[in-house]
């Protein structure tokens, strides 16, 4: 199915540019053209199809569904909805406040907000086509686990103490309202929007355009990095110098990921090229998850609803989680 992209790269690089497959430049350029064209087509098609299917799932429905759920199941549900709900990081504050004022515990809200950027449907499909289903399952499992445990941890340290006062007040009122509802046995209907085919198409078209414009440069960077490594860095160099043997390479990768900021879809090509060039799986995961989930823009956004203390706890928690993921996977790789 993907052979058409190889043919296209053959034609462009060896035919039009007249480069030889034996030269480093020819080899690297061929890799670049093949991968970029493949990922671009996959992206646009997949985003469109998925958006078509989930056009009617909106964040309000998720909130109503989560409100009043038992905590234990709440973390799992919050994290699962994080996977399937369309989400843009600029909406994270309104979502946080919307959930909070519905009386949903901070931990469940954060389980949603941690998982949401890490995993989305487009990222899952892209992962499957580039890195195989086994790696995809590992990725989803870790992303959700971090969200679920992170949420649980935040609730167990009573993170709501360190919300900004207006947010804490909203949470209190929400929980009060929830209790009143329980007593009156009144249940709110959770309904999905009804959409016509034309509205779905419009939504999907906008999504495809939106996401593509956001991530195309990351695809260029990721694949470009891959092409450079592929053509110019000797095989095994990365493995030798940044391999699983160097314990410090994982925290270093996490720290390096903080100033970098990309969404999950954009970071996957980077992941592919790092893995294919022999960077250990744990180090790669740590770097990519840190790039996606821990960033300065996110920090500044969350500052609007959290006190410094909670913000610091939250970020340290993420960094520790990513580092542990990296170490555990580097350690386990020989046994997988």
List the x/- string, 4-43, binding to another protein by CB under 8 A: ----------------------------------------
Of residues 305, 231, 300, 228, the one with CA closest to residue 270: 228
The residue within the footprint of another protein, chosen from 79, 101, 262, 330 (CB under 8 A), is: 101
Question: Could you tell me which stretch among 91-99, 131-139, 250-258, 322-330 binds another protein (CB under 8 A)?
Answer: 91-99
Number of residues that bind another protein (CB under 8 A): 19
* 194 contacts another protein (rule: CB under 8 A): no
Put residue 120 in one of left, alpha, beta given phi > 0 → left and psi -120 to 50 → alpha.
beta
The residue within the footprint of another protein, chosen from 170, 271, 285, 317 (CB under 8 A), is: 170
- Smallest separation (angstroms) from another protein to the CB of 272: 28
The residue within the footprint of another protein, chosen from 12, 52, 59, 225 (CB under 8 A), is: 59
* 93 contacts another protein (rule: CB under 8 A): yes
Dihedral Cα 80, 74, 286, 125, nearest 10 deg: 0
C-alpha distances out from residue 206 to 32, 203, 265, 266, 268, Å: 27, 5, 17, 18, 22
- Cα-based angle 71, 81, 326 (whole degrees, multiple of 5): 85
* 60 contacts another protein (rule: CB under 8 A): yes
Give, as one character, the DSSP assignment of residue 13. I
Question: Could you tell me which stretch among 8-16, 94-102, 122-130, 155-163 binds another protein (CB under 8 A)?
Answer: 94-102
* 301 contacts another protein (rule: CB under 8 A): yes
* 168 contacts another protein (rule: CB under 8 A): no
Of residues 204, 162, 180, the one with CA closest to residue 307: 162
Give, as one character, the DSSP assignment of residue 243. S
Phi, psi of 196 (to 5 degrees): -80, 165
Q: Is 184 helix (H, G, I), strand (E, B) or coil?
A: coil
Q: Is 306 helix (H, G, I), strand (E, B) or coil?
A: strand
Q: Is 20 helix (H, G, I), strand (E, B) or coil?
A: coil
- Smallest separation (angstroms) from another protein to the CB of 112: 12
- Smallest separation (angstroms) from another protein to the CB of 68: 17
Give me 25's structure tokens: 């430049």
Residue at token pair 């893995």: 275
- Smallest separation (angstroms) from another protein to the CB of 301: 6
Q: Closer to another protein by CB, 71 or 214: give it.
A: 214
* 97 contacts another protein (rule: CB under 8 A): yes
Helices (H), ranges, 104-246:
106-118, 121-156, 165-183, 197-232, 237-242
Question: For residues 96 and 104, what is the distance between their CA atoms, to the nearest angstrom?
Answer: 10
* 95 contacts another protein (rule: CB under 8 A): yes
The residue within the footprint of another protein, chosen from 11, 17, 133, 166 (CB under 8 A), is: 166
- Smallest separation (angstroms) from another protein to the CB of 71: 22
Give me 62's structure tokens: 């998720």
- Smallest separation (angstroms) from another protein to the CB of 143: 22
* Contact footprint for another protein (CB under 8 A): 58-60, 63, 88, 90-91, 93-95, 97-98, 101, 166, 170, 206, 301, 304-305
């Amino acid at each position: 199915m993907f052979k058409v992209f190889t043919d296209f790269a053959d034609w462009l690089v060896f035919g039009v540019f007249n480069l030889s497959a034996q030269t480093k430049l020819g080899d690297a350029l061929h890799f670049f053209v093949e991968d970029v064209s493949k990922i671009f087509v996959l992206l646009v098609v997949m985003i469109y199809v998925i958006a078509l299917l989930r056009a009617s799932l909106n964040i309000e429905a998720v909130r109503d569904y989560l409100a009043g759920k038992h905590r234990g199941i709440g973390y799992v549900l919050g994290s699962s909805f994080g996977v399937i709900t369309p989400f843009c990081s600029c909406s994270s504050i309104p979502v946080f406040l919307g959930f909070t004022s519905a009386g949903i515990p901070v931990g469940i809200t954060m389980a949603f907000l941690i998982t949401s950027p890490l995993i989305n449907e487009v990222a899952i499909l892209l992962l499957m086509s580039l890195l195989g289903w086994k790696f995809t399952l590992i990725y989803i499992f870790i992303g959700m686990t971090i969200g679920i445990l992170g949420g649980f941890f935040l609730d167990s340290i009573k993170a709501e103490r360190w919300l900004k006062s207006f947010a804490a007040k909203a949470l209190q009122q929400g929980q009060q309202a929830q209790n009143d509802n329980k007593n009156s046995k009144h249940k709110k209907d959770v309904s999905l929007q009804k959409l016509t085919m034309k509205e779905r198409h419009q939504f999907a078209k906008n999504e495809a355009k939106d996401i593509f414009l956001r991530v195309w440069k990351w695809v260029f960077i990721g694949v470009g990095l891959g092409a450079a490594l592929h053509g110019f860095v000797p095989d095994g160099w990365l493995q030798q110098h940044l391999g699983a043997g160097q314990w410090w390479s994982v925290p270093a990768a996490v720290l390096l990921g903080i100033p970098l900021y990309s969404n999950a879809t954009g970071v996957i090509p980077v992941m592919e090229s790092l893995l294919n060039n022999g960077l250990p799986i744990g180090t790669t995961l740590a770097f990519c998850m840190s790039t996606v989930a821990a960033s300065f823009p996110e920090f500044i956004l969350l500052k609007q609803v959290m006190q410094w203390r909670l913000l610091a706890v939250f970020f340290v928690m993420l960094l520790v989680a990513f580092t542990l993921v990296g170490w555990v996977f580097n350690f386990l790789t020989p046994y997988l």
